[in-house]
Every structure is written in structure tokens, then in C-alpha cells.
Structure 1
Amino acid sequence: MSERWTPEAARAWFAALPWLVGCNFTPSNAINQLEMWQAETFDPETIDRELGLAASVGMNAVRVYLHDLLWLDDADGFLNRVDAFLALADRHGIRTMLVLFDSCWHPEPALGPQPQPRDGVHNSGWVQSPGVPALRNAGEHRRLEAYVKGVVTRFANDPRVLAWDIWNEPDNGPEVALCDPAALRAKADLVVPLLIAAFGWARAMDPVQPLTSGIWLGDWSAPDLLSPIQQAQTGHSDVISFHNYGVAEDFIQRVKWLKTFGRPMMCTEFMARPAGSTFQAILPAAKELKVGAFCWGLVKGKTQTHLPWEAWENPNIEGLKDAWFHDIFDNSGAPHDPGEVEFLRLLNQIDMVEA
């Protein structure tokens, strides 16, 4: 079994890369990971067109969610579709971070036709991986191990894969949405052993890419303030990743806190316009601090992430109340905010005529 990368090895890997700037990508005609990848709804033409929009503003990376049920249903077909996606992204000069597990939104995923979007609801059809029933059932963990090892083995030496995000927000989900301490402890009891095991399963395949899992909750100003899940995440990650939907000052403060780990950093989720997390506010700071940055969303579509989080409001941010929450383009390719797209192209040194 290979070991966790040293800080020196992680810094050397990161130093060889361009500044990473990208998005969390789901094609506009998919409501969730399952609809994106299932054979009946996998749509290379839409994916290719929309990745072209990402490249047109200088993005060189995307973060993409997989799902354990896709492996269970048709491992070979699923891997071939992931390979096809990587080829499309590579054609646009984009490398892909693959996310293996996710604790956000609906806890009982099911294969087959996915629901239609609910009017006015942000990410109404997104599903967890593994679902809570599988998380609670130790008998299911062997197939989860096969999924992680099978996917990582297939792409362990593939230069199109940027990194492996082992678990997205493992301390999230409807049962902890209000940050209730008892619910958080119960979630940790379920997740921490499997999270640590998943890092081990992936590392056992000896990938050339680094492993990570992003923290997002609470105060990170001292190691003893991290929760057990956050300690497992940061303690097993080769590169440190985090999520931040705050204003620039909050983003910069969190980067300073995380510098104590001595490892490269990537913000794998940001950008919520009415909250003050905008491209203009965050990206110059991320570039100066040498932090990779992935916004949430690209093309407005079935995830409806242009809408705010449920019951969200921030009356302190004026002038942005009518702005989309996430996403950059509509499905015709027109930008939500032309000035924002111009800013991205200038920041990323993209020739607007060629783009």
C-alpha cells in the first residue's frame, strides 16, 4: 500500500501545474449524478458543448461527481462513459477531479429515471452516495470497496485525472442541516470509519494523482477545533481542499488557517453571488495566494442551482438580489452577466476573439 504524500511531494506536484481555475460540472440536462452517467441519459454532445463554454473563459479543470450505484449496475459501461468524458474534457484542455462519495441532499438514491426538478427548489434531485441505508449497513461496504478500487484502478495513471476527491461534505445531509451536535456526532460515528477506509482503498491502488476531501463547516483556526470528520479529512488528504461561500475576507482568513498544514490548497466550491462570493471578489485573492478555485455550476439547467439555497436570504448584500446564485451561462450559451465573463477571460488571459 502506498503512503500519504509528504508535504514536499504535494508541493512539488502542485508547483508543476498552472493555476487551477474551474467549476463543479453537471451538464444542464442532468438533475444529478445518476442522470449524468446512466447509459440512457449520458449525453456526450451536451457535455462537449458545455465544456467548451468552460474553456472559453479560461477554465482548465472541472470537478465531477460519480456514484457507487453506477458501478453496481454496470461497472464496465460506467467506466467507459467516464473515459469518454475525460476525453471530451481533455480536448478542451481541461483536467478532471473525480468525486467518489457525497453526503449532500437526498439520502436514498435509486437507479432508473430520475425525478423532474421541483419548481423553485435548488438542487431538488441531487442524491447522496452512498445512500444512508448503505452507509448504515456494514454488509454493503464490500461493494463500496470494489467501487472505489475499480474506478481508481482504471484511471490511476491517467494524466487527464487531476485528483481524487474521496468524499464531498461527509458531515452534510438533511440530518445535520441545522448543525445539531447530536446529529453531527451520529453522522460522524457512521462516516468516519468508512471515510478513512475509502482513503485507504483509493491509496492502495497507488494512483499518481493526489487524494483529498474538503472541509467546510466551522472554525479551523486551531487543529483541536476540527471535528472528528474534519480531522480524518485533513489527516488523510495529500492536498488540502475546502469549501467557502463567504466574502473575500472570510476566504483569505480560512486560507491563512489552512496554511498550517503545509500543503497545497484548493477551494473546491465557491461562488454564491448574493452572499458576496463572486468571481471578482474571490478569484484575484485565490490566484495571488496560489489556491486552486472551483466555482459551483456552469450552465443553468435541471439542478436549478441558479436559485438560492432553501430559505436563504442576505439583506446585507445590495445590488445582487436578482443575480443567479450559482451558474454562469444559460443553456443557449449566453452569459448571465457579460461583464463577469469578460472578467474571467481577462483574468485567465483568454483572447476574447478566439474564445
Structure 2
Amino acid sequence: MIRRTFLLAASALTLTATMSPAQARDQWTKAQANGWHATQPWQVGANYTPATAINQLEMFQAETWDPQRIDLELGWAQAMGMNVMRVNLHNLLWETDAAGLKRRMNEFMTIAAKHNIKTLWIFFDSCWDPNPVAGPQHPPIPGVHNSGSVQSPGAARLKDASQYGKLEAYVKDIVTTFANDSRVVGWDIWNEPNNPGGGNYTPTPDKNKYVATLLPRLFDVARAANPVQPLTSGVWIGDHWDDQKTLDAVEKIQIRESDILSFHDYSWPEKFEERAKQMLSYGRPVWCTEYMARGNGSTFDNTLPIAKRLNIAMYNWGFVNGKMQTRLPWDSWKKPYTYEEPTIWFHDVLHFDGKPYRQAEVDLIKRMAAAPKGVVPAAAY
């Protein structure tokens, strides 16, 4: 594959000048991607933030870093057979304390590896609050789902092309630091990049235009660091992901640039299988990096067996109920659950003290994880 010429702003030219073409790898071919995936165990895990943090800033800033709690929770994950975690980073963490961020990433992976868990790192995120601020984070809004999550890089930086060199430098530094680290299972460049935001926040005007400009550059920078791990960015909305005519500009970049394809699905099992097969039609391995919203029809019981049969990695949303409050449904942004609990938990697997929300779910995950790749235990149905 001939590498695309970098079209970088003047502010980023110094950065790219340090990247030797001999060091940069191409996108993995389908054969390379499938060969790598064949060496991996079936991945099952969660999107992870400790229960004591409201977002990724609170998780990784020095003042609120909580390795003891992380160790406790990842021990619970190991006990139920989980072997991967998807974890959000933020450019502000790097801009304010790059050395500290990398030190805490390393400590997180040391804890995770002790529990036989690998990490899928996310660099950017288009969901929730578009105006992130480093430092102390506000407390959870009572009764509201995910009330403290913040976008990365945020609206101001996304609209300012003079910031792009700094955002690229963030990706380059992190990937270069851990490019050969076996504790990293992959790099998720941007979570739901074409998501307007969600919640009650005002969407960023022309957001997709900015994302479509920046996203391929971030893939290029990450790939130029020559990581041994795959790159991905997951599609999340739509019904015909195998039809290029229906994809927007951002989705086309995600599918074109990813070594391993990934997607999100919070719907009934019939729709999950349909979407999974659409993604598999490209001939690359596939990861589902978000699923499981009980009130929306997406559950462990009905989705994991399909994924196991198709050898699709699975990362459910939420792990331990805590400050993110994702046991509450999305509609809590319109009607906060301040006087009553939801009829059923929307996300999350464990209570704060580690007690399962449903023991049957934990037992199912354990059985599925223990079975050989591609084999669905009879008891799973």
C-alpha cells in the first residue's frame, strides 16, 4: 500500500519531520489482520472507568488517581473471565501532565496484566460535554446517566486547526511509548467520531466536517509510530454498514483506515447479528466495542452467544456502578431518576461492593470466556 502523503498544517510540520518513513508501517492487509487476530484469545470485557471516577480526567489526574480501587475492580473482572478493558484517555491529560499520564497508564496496565487483562486505549471521544476542563470535575448530577463524561478534544480545539499539531503530538507520544507493549491490545483512535454529543448539550456546528479533516491525520500519526497493535475506530449508527453509498465521510474513513473493524450496537440480537455480518463482509476481524443496554433489548444473554459463534470481541458498556451512574437509562437526561430507581439497570454489571446485579450474567460471562474460540456452551442459551 502506498502511504497517503501527509497534508499537515504548518504547526505540525516539525512533528512529522521527525518521523522516518522507514519507521512507519502500512495499514495491515486483511491477511495480516486476520493472522494477528487468530493468535488472540476471544476477547470479552468492558468499557472501564473505576466507580470512584466520573470520567477519564478524574480517573487519570494525579489528585484522584485510585490504583487500589482499580486493582480491586479488575480482580472482580478477572474472576468472571474478562480479559480486556477499553479505557478512555483525553488530550487534556497529556497537555497538562504528559509524563504523569504515561506513568499512570503504565501503572494501570501493570495492574491489569496482574489480572490477565489487556487494554484497548481510546484517544478521542465525541460524546457528551463538548467543553472539557482539566482539574477538579463536578459531582454527578443526581439521577442522570453519565452526567460527567466529556468530549475529546472538545468543540474549541476541534474547530481550531492550529491545535491539530498538538493533538497529533499527543497521539504520537502515547503510541510511540507503548508501540511494542504486549499489554496493549489495540488503539481506538476516536470513539463515535460523528456523534453529535448526546445529553442536553448543544451540538458543535459542522462537527463532521472538522472530524473528517482530523481523523485520517490521527490514523496516519498513530500508524507512523509503527505499533505492533492494531488501530480501529468504530461505527455506531445506521443500518447498512456494508453499503458504501450509505456511509457518511467519517464512517468511510473509519472503515478505510482501521486494521481491525469495530462497531457499537445497543439493540436486539437480530439487529446485532445483522450489523455484525455487515462488518464481517469486509473480510477483516471485527470487535464490538460497545453493547449491553438491558432496557434497549441488548443483553449478555442474547448477544454474547452470537458474538462467540462469530468470533467477535465484546466490550460491554459499564462495569461497576459508581459516579458515572450508567445503571440509569439515557432518558434520565430528560427525566432524572431522583426519587426512584429504574425498573432495571440500563448498563453496569456489579454493585459498588462487587455484588453482581444479576449473578446469572456473571456466570454466563465466565462460561463463555472459558469455552474454546468459536464454541458456544450449550448452557449459554
What is the TM-score of this pair, normalised by structure 2?
Answer: 0.86
In the alignment, is residue 210 of structure 1 matched against residue 230 of structure 2?
Answer: yes
SS in 1 for 2:64: coil
- Of all paired residues, the percent bearing the same amino acid is 49
**How many angstroms apart in 1 are the aligned matches of 2:168 and 2:186?**
18
In the alignment, is residue 196 of structure 1 matched against residue 195 of structure 2?
Answer: no
The C-alpha deviation readout for 1:120-169, integer Å capped at 9, x for no partner, is 11000000110110001111111111100000011000000000000000
SS in 2 for 1:104: coil
In the alignment, is residue 12 of structure 1 matched against residue 35 of structure 2?
Answer: yes
Counterpart residue number, 2:100:
77
**How many angstroms apart in 2 are the aligned matches of 1:177 and 1:61?**
32
C-alpha change, 1:209 and 1:43, in structure 2 (3 Å) is: same
- Post-superposition shift, 1:261? 1.0
Q: Write the mapping of 1:241-260 to structure 2, written as runs, cut at 5 A.
A: 241-260=262-281
Query: Given that residues 176 and 184 in structure 1 are in contact (C-alpha distance below 8 angstroms), is that contact kept between their aligned partners in structure 2?
Result: no
Counterpart residue number, 1:293:
314
Q: Write the mapping of 1:159-238 to structure 2, written as runs, cut at 5 A.
A: 159-174=182-197, 186-219=206-239, 220-238=241-259
Q: Write the mapping of 1:1-355 to structure 2, written as runs, cut at 5 A.
A: 1-174=24-197, 186-219=206-239, 220-310=241-331, 322-349=343-370
Gaps of 5+ in 1: 314-320, 351-355
**How many angstroms apart in 2 are the aligned matches of 1:184 and 1:45?**
38
- Post-superposition shift, 1:344? 1.7
Instruction: State how many pairs are aligned.
Output: 341
SS in 1 for 2:63: coil
**How many angstroms apart in 2 are the aligned matches of 1:275 and 1:247?**
7
C-alpha change, 1:175 and 1:53, in structure 2 (3 Å) is: closer
- Post-superposition shift, 1:172? 1.1
- Post-superposition shift, 1:218? 0.9
Counterpart residue number, 2:19:
none
C-alpha change, 1:235 and 1:264, in structure 2 (3 Å) is: same
SS in 2 for 1:128: coil
SS in 2 for 1:164: strand
- Post-superposition shift, 1:174? 3.3
C-alpha change, 1:67 and 1:347, in structure 2 (3 Å) is: same
- Post-superposition shift, 1:339? 1.7
Query: Given that residues 127 and 198 in structure 2 are in contact (C-alpha distance below 8 angstroms), is that contact kept between their aligned partners in structure 1?
Result: no
Gaps of 5+ in 2: 1-23, 335-341, 372-381
One-letter amino acid of the structure 1 residue matched with residue 279 of structure 2? L
Query: Given that residues 155 and 204 in structure 2 are in contact (C-alpha distance below 8 angstroms), is that contact kept between their aligned partners in structure 1?
Result: no
**How many angstroms apart in 2 are the aligned matches of 1:184 and 1:287?**
38
C-alpha change, 1:176 and 1:295, in structure 2 (3 Å) is: closer
